[in-house]
Structure 1
């Protein structure tokens, strides 16, 4: 019997909804810091399931008031608190560090001692910052039987330095909003300021990495697997803060009861409506998850397939799969090659070509604006667009495929292999995938950066780039385009010396794009 089936079999009878009261309290952390909490309690005296809601970055104890209200109306004791350093809570921001994790245990201690909580039925939920804290806390406190992680992270080092490239614009947003809405600790302030250093000291870089490792659920995976809380992961395809590849990794590596829902949108866009009291499929799923794995009242979600995807662009019905491997498409091998003007993408290797791009300036190809571009896509269904003819060919290279008469359903991670000849020891390239229509307008499917800091100038450097997983439907007669340039406002690049970056495809090692394609009967909607 599966872990989810065991949970369903153990479920007690459903309870009726009840009225509830609301009060505000101070919960004293182990170091004396006062955490402000909003407590909602059913009026009936019987032991109740409990839900602890942790605020997101910059939020206070009322940030989760609408989900808290919905949970309390279903018979939960709800304790929603502001993480230290934010909102009405005292102290300084610890950025999901040991103090934040200890605070969760303190809140659980207070909840079980001061409310009619059943200590065997406790769940923790959070968005973004609260999600990461909740998952780490579940590795240390086995009273947490269920975790809802919405727009969270698994590996903070990967988020900060994926492919050796810093996500500077996102970090700037977090730094300024952290000071605008909270009190950063001296350690957090130093880490974020040092992260922006254009020529960081390698020792400082390792200090930041270790700081990030301590704040990564990946570091505590063994403990999490031992405690086995039921884990719900909600995430978006176009995250600029915590790309979805690491959450797929968490889903794959976690051995307890689990479910992952991946939908179009940006960081926290899928759950924002629910925080405002608007209809929210994401929060509806979270409520059902808690009902099944904490309260044990409605276990129907445990009988559903646990991998749920909604494809881009537009609004699609959900696709469900028994596991991640079943959701991934089969690789279709495509090969960039030379063309009469731009490059072309064909179905046979085309080695021997060479393209030079100047690393002194960006092109109009871009990953978008953090927290804005893909939030707009979540509302409209339209990905960001670029007119590919407008890309400056001195600073960017373009390859385009023939039309796909039946379209192409991309499911999973696209892999790109090519050879780069760098002009200097350091440098950056950014690769973009576009869905191109008959007018030459491209809708952005995905993007990924790659930086190097110790290359041999003028020497061939084979590189492998893996784009974050996605579910994207290229329509009938659409084309696929690959664009490569050397900069993007999202990233702190390493092209300070400029020069000509050479992209090439040696005879012995042809460049290739592997596109995971949904095939056969699965392709029919």
Structure 2
């Protein structure tokens, strides 16, 4: 039986570096604070926990998250040290007590990891053949890239990290503006952004970005993407544990599934309900945490070599939404994915309501206002899905409240049985744009008998060189999820043109048409799984 996961709002993470209490000495290990001097003279503040026994020990380096310092990971560090690990937890440059400026997982940050490993091997009773590295969010991205460059890292844990920073910033040609704003403001509130990082993030918000600046930002992001170094990762083959949540607003989970599929070494993927870092935050405060229990087991197997049991389990582990479900274990991602089942978008009995059915019904057109929002929304970053992780309830929207002049709505008949969604839902729809640039946002709902919609997923899609009045087919591929729609509920789809999460490309006027040609009927493909996994 798995213990119930405890979640805490991710907003607490940035405070931990300054506020977490640390005992100077604990039974079984000692604690000290040191300055580790980077290659350019920057002092990185580190907390070092070392078992009292003199023999060489396995070691784990913990890299702080965005805004954190050396004590941010104090509770996981204490647990690891009490089990015989040397632990060096440090604040990334520019954050917490560490000197320097925020490099955003750039070359200086990666060089700092090597410096910390050098110091650890020279100044502690570390076995250099048994070293692991872990991080949450910012620390996860730094750790993945560092593992591609330093062969001493034999195991790496990525919790709420990223694989492709370009995709995170510009997925489907749409900027994730609200999340970037939170990173920018919190970066200055809890650290010192480098001039380069400051310029990149400020330029990202430009309402009419210069194409040259856009490419500069893309290249900056590519350098900071583990995807760029996949070949080196596959050569070094550190054991890789990926922990991620279904409803990430910062780094959507599709890229981590891609990393899992691309990676050639020993690996495990855990996907669970929640928001960015919500699964990890309870453990950072010393509360029971299944996520950190898995991290400890992973290091026991792949670093210390004391307990290999986790490696005998199936490597893809899912927990379905909504609510708390028992884990599903699968031998690979393809096994976890459901088989696509096609539903078609059609006209309803009146122009304000469409239907989702089993047979093609092409030939319809619905028009909606551009640049005007509806009651459908993707949630509040770092809040809505943290609440879901705690309560089991996704964000809700009452579908009759969606203004049909601003948004198109389709619903299916009541489902005769539970529909286990496993994988990435996709929508094919033809758009007739009113302007060369524009954005649509699609929302997928679990609709109850009272027309209340629980949000399954959402996705923006933008065009920047469209031909006004000319139909263009779009394939909207949502991030993967695991969601069980109950029997007697309905499947719902809403498409509008605006959401506060995104910087859209709408020009402020006109109506965009959504249509379904005879030759290419608009449809929804739902990956329908069994809703169960194999034994561990």
Contact 1:424 1:497 in 2 (8 A): no
CA-CA distance at 1:417 after TM superposition:
0.6
The CA deviation string for residues 354-406 of structure 1, in whole angstroms up to 9 with x for no partner, is 00000131001000111000000000000000000000000000000011111
CA-CA distance at 1:128 after TM superposition:
0.1
Could you say which residue in structure 1 is the equivalent of 2:33? 24
Matched residue count: 508
Could you say which residue in structure 1 is the equivalent of 2:399? 388
Alignment pair present for 1:481 and 2:492: yes
Could you say which residue in structure 2 is the equivalent of 1:164? 173
TM-score, normalization by structure 2: 0.94
CA-CA distance at 1:518 after TM superposition:
1.1
Alignment pair present for 1:55 and 2:35: no
Could you say which residue in structure 2 is the equivalent of 1:514? 525
Following the alignment from structure 2 to structure 1, what is the Cα–Cα distance between the partners of residues 531 and 62? 43
Contact 2:420 2:531 in 1 (8 A): no
CA-CA distance at 1:278 after TM superposition:
0.1
Q: Which runs of 5+ in 2 are unaligned?
A: 1-25
CA-CA distance at 1:18 after TM superposition:
7.4
TM-score, normalization by structure 1: 0.96
Q: 2:447 aligns with which of 422, 432, 436?
A: 436
Could you say which residue in structure 2 is the equivalent of 1:197? 206
Alignment pair present for 1:282 and 2:306: no
DSSP-derived class of the 1:123 partner: strand
Alignment pair present for 1:270 and 2:279: yes
The CA deviation string for residues 312-365 of structure 1, in whole angstroms up to 9 with x for no partner, is 000000000000000000001000000113000000111111000001310010
CA-CA distance at 1:521 after TM superposition:
7.8
Cα distance change of structure 1 residues 188 and 520 upon mapping to structure 2, 3 Å threshold = closer
Could you say which residue in structure 1 is the equivalent of 2:9? none
Q: Over the residues paired in the alignment, what is the CA RMSD in angstroms?
A: 1.3
Q: Which runs of 5+ in 1 are unaligned?
A: 1-16
CA-CA distance at 1:520 after TM superposition:
8.9
Could you say which residue in structure 1 is the equivalent of 2:414? 403
Following the alignment from structure 1 to structure 2, what is the Cα–Cα distance between the partners of residues 353 and 34? 64
DSSP-derived class of the 1:411 partner: strand
Q: 2:219 aligns with which of 201, 205, 210?
A: 210
Q: How does 1:354-369 map to 2 (within 5 A)?
A: 354-369=365-380
Q: 1:343 aligns with which of 354, 357, 362?
A: 354
Alignment pair present for 1:460 and 2:477: no
Structure 1 residue ranges, 4+ long, deviating more than 3 angstroms after superposition = 519-523
Contact 1:386 1:441 in 2 (8 A): yes
The CA deviation string for residues 449-500 of structure 1, in whole angstroms up to 9 with x for no partner, is 0011100010011110100000000011110001000000000001123210
Q: How does 1:220-369 map to 2 (within 5 A)?
A: 220-341=229-350, 342-369=353-380
Contact 1:363 1:485 in 2 (8 A): yes
Following the alignment from structure 2 to structure 1, what is the Cα–Cα distance between the partners of residues 371 and 528? 36
Following the alignment from structure 1 to structure 2, what is the Cα–Cα distance between the partners of residues 122 and 18? 23
Following the alignment from structure 1 to structure 2, what is the Cα–Cα distance between the partners of residues 519 and 269? 27
Could you say which residue in structure 1 is the equivalent of 2:134? 125
The CA deviation string for residues 419-471 of structure 1, in whole angstroms up to 9 with x for no partner, is 00000000000000000000000000000000111000100111101000000
Following the alignment from structure 2 to structure 1, what is the Cα–Cα distance between the partners of residues 113 and 530? 45
Following the alignment from structure 1 to structure 2, what is the Cα–Cα distance between the partners of residues 369 and 242? 15
Contact 1:330 1:519 in 2 (8 A): no
DSSP-derived class of the 2:153 partner: coil
Following the alignment from structure 2 to structure 1, what is the Cα–Cα distance between the partners of residues 217 and 319? 35
Q: How does 1:28-107 map to 2 (within 5 A)?
A: 28-107=37-116
Following the alignment from structure 2 to structure 1, what is the Cα–Cα distance between the partners of residues 444 and 509? 24
Following the alignment from structure 2 to structure 1, what is the Cα–Cα distance between the partners of residues 473 and 338? 25
DSSP-derived class of the 1:145 partner: strand
